[in-house]
Amino acid sequence: MSSRSAAVSLAGVGACCALLSAVVHLVIAPEHLEEMLYIGILFIIGSVALLVAAAGLVLRDSLAAWWVGALVSAGMILGFALSRTVGLPGYHEEGWDPPYGVLSFVAEAVFLVAFFAWYGIRTTTHAPAAPVRPKVPAGR
Average pLDDT over residues 60-67: 95
Q: pLDDT confidence of 122, banded at 50, 70, 90?
A: confident
Instruction: Read off the pLDDT of each residue in 101-111 and give the average, rounded to a whole number.
Output: 97
Domain spans in the chain, listed from the N-terminal domain onward: 9-125
* Res 79: pLDDT: 97
**pLDDT > 90? residue 103:** yes
Q: Closest Cα partner for 104 from 18, 38, 31, 2?
A: 18
| DSSP per residue, 15-45 | HHHHHHHHHHHHHHHHHHHHH-HHHHHHHHH
Q: Is the pLDDT of residue 92 over 70?
A: yes
> How far, in Å, CA of 118 to CA of 64, rounded?
13
